[in-house]
């Protein structure tokens, strides 16, 4: 039985490693790929686009599917959008979405993004701190947004969101009540459009990167309980 674990945009596998290790200790075959352009230098991400991330995610899924009878997908943020795409196009046993990104930040911010790109801005510096409530905890993310790469992600996840009814597998949705990176209503897309059953758990003590935040144990235990139901 296999579990594919996917991290978010500008992050790296570090944010998902504790959860992936719990899955491995539970006896599952686990793949935690580093998405292209991530975990190296910010400049490496500047030229990457949504299709690059799709190729990496599907490549890791295919490897698992070749050796595992059943495969579940687990994704944080943009990793959640990629997980949804896999579930739309492949047979998966179940999906775990952790604060998934499935739509853009809104018309005003998206227009601002397009304006910056037209002005020739390649990278928008961001706060060095992570969107984590737990004091002293960071996710080792990049300190900037590569704008063209971000635009491609926004365009990509909106296509995914339009096809969520193709998901028939059961889903576990873990949503932070307060999220400064991806609005909680992104998760509403799963609830409203997925054709499979959806269980939603609200996280009251975590921000966006809930896998490393105060609700980490809840995220991990709920994920393992869900995986036991869909994979065993």
Locus of tokens 């969520």: 164
- 68-116 confidence digits (pLDDT tens): 999 999 999 999 999 999 999 999 999 999 999 999 888 888 898 898 9
Between CA 194 and CA 164 the distance in angstroms is 5
Taking only the tens place, the pLDDT of each residue in 24-54 is 999 999 999 999 999 899 999 999 999 999 9
State which residues form the domain around 136. Answer: 2-231
At residue 147's C-alpha, the angle toward residues 6 and 134, to 5°, is 50
Q: How far apart are the first and last CA of the chain?
A: 8
CATH number at residue 150: 3.40.50.1820
140 backbone φψ class: left, alpha, beta (φ>0; ψ -120 to 50): left
- The arithmetic mean of pLDDT across residues 2-16, rounded, is 95
**How many independent structural domains does the chain possess?**
1
What is the pTM (predicted TM-score) of this model?
Answer: 0.94
Q: What does the pLDDT read at residue 109?
A: 85
Separation of alpha carbons 117 and 60, rounded Å = 32
Q: Would you please indicate which residues are annotated as catalytic (active-site) residues?
A: 77, 179, 208
């Amino acid at each position: 039985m296999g579990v594919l674990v996917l991290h978010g945009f500008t992050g790296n596998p570090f944010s998902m490693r504790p959860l992936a290790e719990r899955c491995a200790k539970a006896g599952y075959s686990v793949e935690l790929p580093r998405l292209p352009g991530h975990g190296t230098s910010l400049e490496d991400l500047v030229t990457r686009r949504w299709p690059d991330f799709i190729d990496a995610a599907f490549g890791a899924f295919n490897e698992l599917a070749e050796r595992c009878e059943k495969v579940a997908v687990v994704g944080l943020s943009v990793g959640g959008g990629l997980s949804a795409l896999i579930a739309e196009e492949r047979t998966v046993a179940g999906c775990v979405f952790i604060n998934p990104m499935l739509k853009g930040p809104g018309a005003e911010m998206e227009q601002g993004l397009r304006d910056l790109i037209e002005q020739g801005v390649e990278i928008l510096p961001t706060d060095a701190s992570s969107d984590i409530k737990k004091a002293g905890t960071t996710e080792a993310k990049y300190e900037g947004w590569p704008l063209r790469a971000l635009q491609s992600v926004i365009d990509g996840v909106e296509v995914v969101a339009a096809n969520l009814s193709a998901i028939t597998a059961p889903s576990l949705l873990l949503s932070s009540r307060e999220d400064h990176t991806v609005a909680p209503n992104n998760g509403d897309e799963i609830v409203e459009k997925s054709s499979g059953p959806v269980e939603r758990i609200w996280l009251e003590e975590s921000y966006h990167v809930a896998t490393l935040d105060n609700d980490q144990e809840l995220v991990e235990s709920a994920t393992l309980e869900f995986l036991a139901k869909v994979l065993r």
